Structure 1
């Protein structure tokens, strides 16, 4: 420095103060990219440490995922426990008896005593539409079974009706079975011979039964009409209230179980006599006769072996008859239970008539056999009075055999 020159305090050779205001901001701005670059370099791992960091991150992510799954499972279990604890309370039957308001209890659920059928209540056992007509010329009363309604049964039933008159023992009429209904429509008419002198003491009895193929039939209701108290000068048709069913089975003469099978191609009618039950204890050596009628004349017959000293004989014997399809409408099948009584001679105990001219359960059994060809159809049948069956058959006498004169 020369003598005489004044020193310049702002010279570049002089030290710069870092705290100077004008140069601080530009320096920071210029240093930001370098700082960011150095920061990212510090974050990036060296080439040798790359896989370790990746493995660490994968383990950490798997741990987080596992912990979150465990937490979800725990939460679901807690919710289910709470739901199961609350569910029995929701499904509990509401105790209407403990309700403070008795009016609400009575309206929602009446007492059990009120739900029981009252003795004089309407339609307790159902109703029956019946028509009565008396013919003074033939001395017959015609009973027309129209229909029944509101029968009392669990679910549905297979009802049929059984009609009889007290003055005619062993004479009754059975309707056909109606499947799966509580309001059957019968539309059947039957006639009973009742002289005018017996009308005051005669009683018409109509029983409704639920048909069971292999067990005892269940009673559905009963109607008893004293004919002496009714005006039979005109045709009567009205609804009658059914009463409680009786405890007696119709015609306690025993029952017979057998099966029918028909093959249309070969014309073979197979009758298998299985067993009987409910026979009189005083009978001995019971057996069954199987007989075919053609055009109301005796045609073919066969019989089982006898069973001694039993009220429930078991036979299980089969008989095959050749019946062409063209003759089915002209054939009647009769099964009769015979036994030795006190007179030591065989007498018919009861009979069952099947075929186109039958009625009630036997007619239904015959129809089932024809509807299910080549398949045996077994069923129990009540034995009817031999006189009644013979009257229904109206058998013609046999043709006299020609005998050459000697």
Structure 2
């Protein structure tokens, strides 16, 4: 009996030993986890965060101009105090955190004032060179224009150009616009913003935020384009489109500014420039181009087969001379749209080949109350797409549209193709 009692006593001591080791293991694990968290927190506090992005383009990163190697987010209090004393009031560095996802300011509206860079320029910021800039006398003459002259003028755009040889980047600062016309007749104001494109390739498209209810917007936004060699600058052209935002319809085009960079030297520092805003140069051609359409009406299945084949001689929709056309097809029954389709976008061509087929189900017997509309549009990533031309086919259509519709009604199950002239959108 003695050996049995001794073994039982040994087994009773095992849970006590396991509990002691478990307690030591738990304390060690908690201590290790707390130590790791403290190390990570200290490393994050000592590490300088990267730059904040202002815009991110396709293949192009755009940083704020006011951020350099010494002005990074997360700096100490002394450096921040020095930076705040030297930076302008409406600097882009101070306004980033107030923006929403669209780049707008939800609550506060910027003061209507001229850009401080135009009035108080110092050699600390950059080496200034003025080309066609506005003198104080000319500014007085602008403000003292008569009402008739103001109606004819569309305002003045102020901007600066610079090339950063260290980063191999082209820098454009859109400062402000003055004397814009009122596009809203009720409030006699505008909601302006600027869309900028680098021509001729149209790869780089940016736009500023919308400033509400002002005719003298101070944007002061800087866009930096990386990957553009200095030797290529002379071949580029800057296109500024000044628009007024409209919540309920297409944005109103105020005017445009076209700046060829040939002959402009940026090797000596930043170049301050201003240009008069002119009316948009849309070429008024005798025709809007032609569209080749093939139609086939299947009376047995009551379907209409539409093939968008080609487009040719499309007019230019912007100053680059090249459009990115696509075709939108709308099917109407008794003047009510019941179906819509669209083709793919063809890049940079006035003569596009689509070869895309669409099949529409007809809700009634016959094609008497059916009509089909073709809209040729220019795809624009930066703003709303512009209508290049329009074509309507139906029983009430005139010209080739009515003849083509009559033929497919008389000869069902036959694919009939015809060229049609596009009319203004």
Which band: TM-score by shorter chain?
A: 0.3 to 0.5
Structure-2-length-normalised TM-score? 0.33
Normalized per residue, which structure has more helix? 1
The structure with the largest alpha-carbon Rg is 1
Instruction: Please give the TM-score of this superposition, normalised by the length of structure 1.
Output: 0.34
